Structure 1
Amino acid sequence: MLVGIDEAGRGPVIGPLVVGGVAVSDENCSELESLNLKDSKKYTRQKREELEEVILSLTECTYAEISASEIDSQRHKKTLNDIEVELFADVLLRFPQATKIIVDACDVNPVRFGEKICARSGVPSIISEHKADATYPIVSAASIIAKVQRDRRIDQLKEVYGDFGSGYCSDQKTIVFLRKYIKKEGGLPLIARSSWDTAKKLLEEYYQRPLDIFL
């Protein structure tokens, strides 16, 4: 059984980090490859959801996620890479029949990332590469599963907090939302990663502001 693992939501200042895992049998491997899958970011949301249905019909899928507040809590004692190692290992252990495992490395050192997952999960070997989601269809599938799940979780958060954009630091809509929230509440929402530099800078701006900055 071939297993691929990838994440979605490593960088955003708002929302969870999701790790997706996909396992395909030898019988369905060629059919999965025939889909010519790519990194989830190359597709529209509608296309990702269409592909998810096909992937689910051919494979076993799972995911693990960690909320923004839990990321902040763990980052007091762990790096983000260490948090991801634990999530990747958690997903991997749900596929005890795996014979080959490929992951999209989050660490600048892909070999180290794979070795840490092996140590955490007890599996003997893992293929860990940068851009694996663009090279291996099984990892592309995992990327799609993770991204679709994160999109759905973001939708749920927007039902509570309103439209905050994509949640990424480069999204001006996200920044405006956080500024307004900080102005109203005097702090960040629980869905924001307070350990992120972007969040820290917005708080600093607010508490050191001239009176008109957050108007």
Structure 2
Amino acid sequence: EAQRDNLFKKIHEHDVGFIVDPLSAEGLSNDMLRVNRRNLNRISHDSAIGLISNVLKEGFKLREVFVDTVGKPEVYQKILREQFPTIPSIVVSKKADSIFPIVGAASICAKVIRDRMLSEWQFKEKLPTMNRSFGSGYPGDQATKDWLIGTMQHVFGYPTLVRYSWATATTLLQDAAPVHWSFEDIQAMEEINAHSRM
């Protein structure tokens, strides 16, 4: 983390401009679990499109865009090229943050901003087990697992800091209080889902 912060300072020293689009866990959960669901790839694509659009609206003339892929690179690249036909070169690649220094710099900016947002996070919920030892947020991190296990409330689940659509959270929530839906509730949801597909 300290190394990232130092690199972030160097980026600022060289007047490299950047913008971020912070996606909250609550917003991601809402998008991914609503009736008309949006998957994580689509959300990420829409975010990148929004960022590029904002740069163009500011009057910048982009000659090249480099993007780390979410999903299949060729599909993502096609989406971006169709959306921005005036940009001469759009490259979407796996491991772009390792291949293209500018993508690596963008990754550093995003992670530093994320870390700052987490350090300043204000919980809406007032549960007795709240602590700030989140870990990295990755499922392989024991500190993250410990935080998830220790923070889960068996009736209400997690605070809004946790993405409910995340498989790790979903698995842990199986140990929470079960929810029993009535037949009418299930039938109503099926009708809503069927109607939304038309």
- The reply to whether TM is greater than 0.5 is yes
Q: Find the partner of 1:89 among 32, 40, 49.
A: 49
More strand by share: 1
- CA separation in 1, counterparts of 2:83 and 2:171? 35
- CA separation in 2, counterparts of 1:64 and 1:119? 21
Determine helix, strand or coil for the equivalent of 2:102. helix
- Calculate percent identity across the aligned residue pairs: 29
- CA separation in 2, counterparts of 1:83 and 1:138? 22
Q: Which residue does 1:74 correspond to in 2? A: 31
- Give unmatched runs, 5+ long, in structure 1: 1-44, 209-215
- CA separation in 2, counterparts of 1:171 and 1:137? 27
Q: Which residue does 2:163 correspond to in 1? A: 193
- CA separation in 2, counterparts of 1:85 and 1:112? 11
**RMSD over equivalenced CA pairs, Å:** 2.0
- CA separation in 2, counterparts of 1:204 and 1:184? 10
Q: Which residue does 2:193 correspond to in 1? A: none
Runs of 4+ in structure 1 over 3 Å off: 118-125, 183-186
Q: Find the partner of 1:166 among 114, 122, 136.
A: 136
- Give unmatched runs, 5+ long, in structure 2: 124-129, 179-198
TM-score relative to the length of structure 2: 0.73
- CA separation in 1, counterparts of 2:141 and 2:112? 19
Determine helix, strand or coil for the equivalent of 1:127. strand
Higher Cα Rg: structure 1 or 2? 2
- CA separation in 2, counterparts of 1:170 and 1:206? 21
Confirm or deny: 8 A CA contact 2:8 2:108 kept in the other structure: yes
* AA in 1 matched with 2:147: F
Report the alpha carbon displacement of residue 172 of structure 1 after superposing the two structures with TM. 2.2
* AA in 2 matched with 1:181: T
Determine helix, strand or coil for the equivalent of 1:128. strand
* AA in 2 matched with 1:90: G
